């Protein structure tokens, strides 16, 4: 039997956390981070030793749960995708001032190339902004190792440690060797009497804590120095590489018989980066190529140290590397002007094939209730005389409503924006204003708008696509189900303005009739399209399906 396992980068992070004695894992689903939590949940189920995994209502809540667990002296992980960190950002920035007690890993998965995201923002400058250390692994093995080291660093510095993944690492499967022993969760105890006020960020204490944080910087640099490395080979040309930049550069050199002695290398795996390391590298080269995922972060630092132009920095800023999108082996090859590969297809043949090949975009599943909901919404708007209708959308499967034949979604910004934008439009006189949101997104960031909307008299129509599952990310359970109506009533929305519709083809004309009446009535309304996700039904993920199975046994 092999001592190693094949794991996704995401799974390696979960396993590292388990072996490091993590007590609680929290998160909110988001591609490409979701599998971190899911793997942790599986491990925890199997171990049955009192560890906890829990999906939170949103990333901010998840982050705060982790901070609370850390407060008790236990190790904890919170997972999210890059844009999830925006949601958690208030807690994130301030946790640098409170500091942590038990080790805390903030696992953030970036999505350069936007495989399934609305932007390709970089987590590194956000960690920098918060004055927090960040580790950037390159392979599933490093994800495992860095997670374990991350806990040690976190407890040493008494700060949360960010572990940054990208899609191509989170969803890459590779060999991972485990350490021999798995630590059980142990507690460092709650903060001592001397330390307990550290967590109270009133101005007088926060000022002191900010100085304390600044004073940790030199220790952070010392830790980073153990990860980052400059390798000189006597040439005047260098590469600065991090994350997948290291993966692709190493691979290219290894498999194309290129001498390692061609380039000086600066290999960055931990942040903050000591400025003397960067300065020295600039001083020792005449030209430097920077290969890093997401933003030109290291590149900008290097540019700041090469103002005399004695060393020219090439990267995303001068378009030596494409300004946007993820790195690849091809980018390494082209940028460093290596010989092209010898493809099977001639250019003529490739053009011929490109003419034939049509794209196959993702789409809503056949028989999905969202299709029926969109159909009745758009028909009702047309029937009341609005041909060029606009519907504010949100994030989830139903975002695919932007595609033909639905053409039913006209915005997608971030979690919860649908309802707030619809309300803002309604307040400006847009009528009827319609926002479409899924149930999990509603609980994540839509409820607060519902509460605000109820206080207005404008024609805002809040549509919840309620399938009682987090569909897009792989059918995770939402934080709660079936409480939208009660919430609206509690918020003060009259019962007659709450409508529960079933999005099925046979209900189409009845739904259209109801929607026309709702849209014509001035004032806030809540419309709940309630039907199960067909994928989740097939997988028997709903509580009522599980009960049935138990009853049958």
Residue range at the interface with another protein (CB under 8 A); choices 246-254, 262-270, 431-439, 484-492: 246-254
3-state DSSP assignment of residue 398: helix
Residue 552 in tokens: 């049958």
Residue of 2, 52, 47, 57 whose CA lies nearest to 24: 52
The position carrying tokens 């580790």 is: 135
Cβ of residue 246: shortest distance to another protein, in angstroms? 7
Regarding 552 and contact with another protein (CB under 8 A), the answer is: no
Tokens of 202: 């009133």
| Contact yes or no for 526/499 (Cβ under 8 A) | yes
Quickly count: other Cβ atoms within 10 Å of residue 202's Cβ: 8
Question: Closer to another protein at the Cβ: 169 or 447?
Answer: 169
Ranges of beta strands (E only) in 363-487 are 433-438, 460-466
- What SS3 class is residue 9? helix
The reply to whether 196 sits near another protein by the rule CB under 8 A is no
* Residues 28-67: x where in contact with another protein by CB under 8 A, - otherwise, as a string: ---xx-xx--------------------------------
Q: Which is nearer to another protein, 253 or 528 (CB)?
A: 253
Alpha helices, DSSP H only, in 216-325?
217-225, 244-255, 275-283, 297-304
* Cβ-Cβ contacts under 8 Å for 550 (sequence gap 6 or more): none
174 binds another protein (CB under 8 A): yes
CB of 112 to another protein, least distance (A): 13
Lay out the sheet containing 460-466: strands in order across: 433-438, 460-466, 525-530, 498-501
Q: Minimum Å distance from CB 429 to another protein?
A: 35
Q: Which of the stretches 95-103, 157-165, 223-231, 334-342 binds another protein when contact is defined by CB under 8 A?
A: 334-342
172 binds another protein (CB under 8 A): yes
352 near another protein (CB under 8 A): yes
Cα gap 54→127, rounded to integer Å: 24
H/E element holding 209?
helix 203-215
Of 294, 297, 286, 247, the residue nearest 267 (C-alpha) = 247
Instruction: Identify the DSSP state of 192.
Output: P
Alpha-carbon gap, residue 409 to 391, rounded angstroms: 5
Report the run of H or E that residue 129 belongs to, with start and end.
helix 123-130
| Cβ distance to another protein smaller for residue 212 or 414 | 414
- Residue 518 touches another protein, criterion: CB under 8 A: no
For 455-542, where are the alpha helices, taking DSSP H only?
Answer: 484-491, 508-520, 534-538
Query: Would you count residue 397 as binding another protein (CB under 8 A)?
Result: yes
Residue 121 interacting with another protein (CB under 8 A): no
Q: Minimal distance in Å, beta carbon 238 to another protein?
A: 19
Size of the residue set binding another protein (CB under 8 A): 53
Using CB under 8 A as the binding rule, whether residue 340 contacts another protein is answered as: yes
Q: Vertex 29, ends 481 and 417: CA angle to 5°?
A: 75
Stretch touching another protein by CB under 8 A, among 143-151, 217-225, 249-257, 453-461 = 249-257
Residue of 42, 64, 128, 175 interacting with another protein (CB under 8 A): 175
Sole binder of another protein in the list 88, 213, 220, 364 (CB under 8 A)? 364
Q: From the list 199, 210, 232, 252, which residue makes contact with another protein (rule: CB under 8 A)?
A: 252
Find the shortest distance in angstroms from Cβ 336 to another protein.
13
* Residues, the chain: 553
Point out which span in 27-35, 183-191, 289-297, 483-491 binds another protein (CB under 8 A).
27-35
Which positions lie near another protein, rule CB under 8 A?
A: 6, 8, 31-32, 34-35, 115-116, 138-139, 168-169, 171-175, 246-248, 250-252, 254-255, 328-330, 333, 340-345, 350, 352-353, 356-365, 397, 400, 472-474
């Amino acid at each position: 039997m092999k001592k190693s396992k094949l794991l996704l980068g995401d799974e390696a992070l979960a396993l590292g956390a388990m072996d490091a004695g993590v007590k609680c894992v929290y998160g909110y689903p988001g591609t490409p981070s979701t599998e971190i939590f899911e793997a942790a949940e599986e491990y925890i189920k199997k171990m049955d030793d009192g560890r906890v995994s829990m999906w939170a209502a949103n990333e901010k809540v998840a982050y705060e749960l982790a901070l609370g667990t850390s407060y008790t002296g236990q190790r904890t992980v919170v997972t999210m995708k890059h844009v999830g960190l925006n949601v958690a950002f208030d807690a994130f920035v301030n946790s640098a001032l409170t500091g942590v007690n038990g080790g805390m890993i903030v696992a953030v998965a970036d999505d350069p190339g936007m495989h399934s995201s609305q932007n390709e923002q970089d987590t590194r400058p956000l960690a920098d902004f918060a004055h927090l250390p960040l580790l950037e692994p390159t392979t599933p093995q490093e994800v495992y190792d860095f997670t374990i080291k991350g806990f040690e660093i976190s407890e040493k510095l008494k700060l949360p440690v960010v572990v940054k993944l990208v899609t191509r690492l989170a969803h890459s499967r590779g060999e991972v060797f485990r350490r021999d022993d798995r630590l059980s969760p142990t507690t460092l105890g709650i903060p001592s009497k001397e330390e307990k006020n550290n967590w109270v960020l009133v101005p007088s204490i926060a000022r002191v804590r900010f100085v304390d944080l600044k004073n940790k910087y030199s220790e952070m640099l010392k830790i980073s120095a153990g990860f980052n490395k400059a390798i000189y080979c006597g040439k005047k040309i260098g590469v600065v590489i991090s994350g997948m930049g290291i993966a692709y550069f190493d691979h290219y050199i290894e498999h194309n018989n290129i001498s390692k002695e061609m380039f000086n290398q600066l290999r960055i795996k931990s942040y903050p980066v000591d400025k003397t390391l960067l300065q020295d590298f600039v001083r020792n080269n005449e030209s430097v190529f920077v290969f890093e995922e997401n933003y030109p972060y290291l590149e900008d630092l290097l540019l700041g140290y090469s103002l005399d132009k004695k060393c020219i920095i090439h990267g995303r800023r001068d378009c030596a590397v494409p300004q946007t999108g993820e790195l690849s082996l091809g980018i390494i090859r082209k940028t460093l002007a290596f010989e092209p590969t010898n493809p099977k297809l001639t250019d003529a043949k490739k053009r011929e094939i490109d003419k034939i090949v049509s794209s196959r975009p993702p789409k809503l599943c056949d028989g999905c209730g969202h299709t029926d909901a969109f159909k009745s919404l758009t028909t009702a708007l047309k029937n009341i005389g609005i041909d060029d209708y606009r519907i504010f959308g949100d994030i989830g499967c139903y975002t695919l409503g932007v595609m033909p034949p639905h053409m039913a979604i006209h915005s997608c910004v971030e979690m919860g924006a649908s309802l707030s934008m619809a309300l803002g439009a309604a307040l400006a006189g847009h009528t009827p204003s319609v926002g479409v949101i899924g149930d999990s997104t509603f609980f994540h960031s839509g409820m607060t708008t519902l509460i605000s909307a109820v206080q207005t008299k404008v024609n805002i129509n809040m549509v919840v696509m309620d399938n009682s599952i987090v569909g897009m990310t792989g059918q995770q359970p939402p934080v709660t189900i079936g409480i939208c109506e009660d919430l609206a009533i509690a918020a003060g929305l009259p019962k007659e303005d709450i409508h529960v519709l079933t999005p099925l083809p046979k209900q189409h004309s009845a739904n259209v009739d109801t929607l026309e009446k709702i849209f014509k009535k001035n004032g806030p309304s809540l419309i709940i399209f309630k039907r199960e996700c067909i994928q989740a039904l097939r997988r028997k993920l709903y509580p009522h399906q599980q009960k049935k199975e138990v009853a049958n046994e």
